[in-house]
Structure 1
């Protein structure tokens, strides 16, 4: 045990706070006494909402292109073929089933893709 236990605790607190500031960033606040204090930004786990949204939109666009390229009858036949397969193929059939967005995107792209 050291003579300067309180001092060591304060230094440890300052070092931990500084490490959190370096890791998460800093927020400056003006106190009631007029001093500007630097506090560590609260680190919250970030959910990749933007990435998930982009993947979903790309998936819908892909399904629309397939629907436009193959046609509604061919697309339905291929989805039915997947529906009778293994578990992974059934999940793929569930994901690839045409819904309103797929049909709309496919209808918009069909004049450009189908010859």
Structure 2
């Protein structure tokens, strides 16, 4: 029984390598196999089998990589939806990642701390006079004056700094 299956496998592999049509009803019909083979080239069964296994291995590794990539993306959060066919699907949640937001938050906190320290170092009168000078300048200086104005968040940071000093 094993020899029969090995012969069928060999026939299938030879069909794949040559332009011989596959036998539809019975793959064990070897009637006219010789006319499709190149008589000058010898095809070894192991070579054909190894080539087929290499293709299968590459396909398996590609599918495994895709599954691992999807699992990594789903680990960050997902949304469950029902598609048009009624199948429940898990899609990765689209959001700004934590890595993207944290540097922006740190930058804003450092800027607020800079404004507060500058205000404490210069004093209220000198700080406000500098802002007045900036408001009469060019468009870039006016934008800087608008950003450097004392807002409620800066006042709160000033309160924290003054309690510690």
Q: What TM-score bracket applies, with the shorter chain setting the length?
A: 0.5 to 0.7
Alignment root-mean-square deviation, CA: 4.0
Shift in Å, 1:106: 2.9
In structure 2, the residue matched to 1:25 is 72
Q: Structure 1 residue aligned with 2:117, among 33, 45, 65?
A: 65
TM-score by length of 1: 0.59
User: Which of 1 and 2 has higher RCO (CA within 8 Å, sep 6+)?
Assistant: 1
Cα distance, 1:14 vs structure 2: 6.2
Cα separation, 2, equivalents of 1:15 and 1:106:
57
SS at match of 1:75: helix
1:56-95 deviation per Cα after TM superposition (whole angstroms, max 9, x unaligned): 1111111000111111111111111111111111111110
Unaligned runs of 5+ in 2: 1-15, 17-54, 76-90
Structure (1 or 2) with the larger CA radius of gyration? 2
* 1:108, distance to aligned residue in structure 2 (A): 4.1
> TM-score w.r.t. structure 2 length?
0.44
The question of whether the paired residues in 2 share the 8 Å contact of 1:64 and 1:104 is answered with no
What are the equivalent positions in structure 2 for 1:1-115 lying under 5 Å apart? 15=62, 18-19=65-66, 21-22=68-69, 25=72, 42=92, 44=94, 46=97, 48-110=100-162, 112=165
For these two proteins, the number of residue pairs brought into alignment is 97
